[in-house]
Amino acid sequence: MSVPVVVLDPSLRDPHAELWFVEPPGFVPLPLDALLPEPGSMAADSLRTAAVPFLNAAPDEEARRQFITVFAAGQQLLAALRDAGTVHCSLGVHRDDIGELGPECGAANVLVSVFTVSWRDVAVAPRGVTAARAVTGGGGHSGVEFAELPCGPATFSETTVAPTPGSGLPQRPLLQVHAHLPHPDCRRLAVLSLTTTAPVRRQEYRALLRLIAESVGFEDPRQEGEERREGSGRRDVCPVTSPWVGTPP
């Protein structure tokens, strides 16, 4: 029998973190701060240094230009996410162990997704009211589900969007599955979203997002673990093979 292991991500110790969660295997975090550095900063110098091996490995100048163009387009997408309040972004790649998806969903037996965590300021209200407002104030939400999670009230929903021309994304419908988690201060809303080009796997993606949302905590899980051992009755760290990740407000 294998023993589950908790892998602690360095962000767990971020003194500015205000939300923690368990990220399942198959997701690779994209370092927003490292990929979107301030011009002239040490981080910008580090990014240029990291890109040099890729540019030198290009067979010719045209290939180098293509790499720079694609990288710049990726930065634009990440910048748009950060401007919208996104504080965490991960790329998910999983094997489809159910069946063939068809050419409209990309490579056979491969599921690609993007997981994000975003903060939104909201009007002060009871947390259950905020959770309900998140899916009833427009936005085309469907498949709405209300839930009481360890971190408090939440709503789950789905939306379908089409990438804008020139965005660099495949021009086919994107399924977005959302979890709306009001913060205990009643002034903020954490939105967890999974976006994929495989809408036929909506039930599987809803289950995956539900798993992540159930692990969310608004207090440092290391402190919760200490209180648990002292007999406070609060929940301990979830024992799964995934990193605990902390996100800033």
Mean pLDDT, the chain cut into blocks of 10 residues (249 residues total): 60 79 86 71 74 77 78 70 80 78 57 90 95 86 93 94 66 86 95 89 92 91 54 31 43
Question: Looking at residue 94, what DSSP letter applies?
Answer: E
- Residues with Cβ within 8 Å of residue 58, at least 6 apart in sequence: 64, 67
Residue 36: the pLDDT is 66
Which segments of the chain does DSSP mark as H helices, in order?
A: 32-35, 42-57, 61-83, 127-136, 202-215, 221-229
The closest of 233, 237, 208, 217 to 93, measured between CA atoms, is 208
Dist CA 152 CA 12 (whole Å): 21
pLDDT of residue 31: 76
Q: Which residues contact 182 (CB under 8 A, 6 or more apart)?
A: 122, 127, 128, 130, 131, 152, 153, 154, 188, 189, 190
Could you report how far apart the first and last alpha carbons of the chain are, in Å?
Answer: 39
Taking the C-alpha atoms of residue 188 and residue 217, their distance in angstroms, rounded to an integer, is 14
pLDDT at 242 (0 to 100): 39
Which residues share a beta bridge with 118?
86, 191
Phi, psi torsion values for 233, nearest 5 degrees: 85, 0
Residue 99: both structure tokens together = 């069946």
Cβ–Cβ < 8 Å for 205, 10: no
CB atoms < 10 A from the CB of 219, how many? 14
What's the confidence (pLDDT) of residue 234?
Answer: 28
What is the spatial distance between Cα 194 and Cα 175, in angstroms, rounded to a whole number?
8
For residue 246, what pLDDT is reported? 47
The pLDDT value given to residue 169:
59
* Residue of 111, 244, 97 lying closest to 177 (CA atoms): 111
DSSP bridge partners of 19: 247
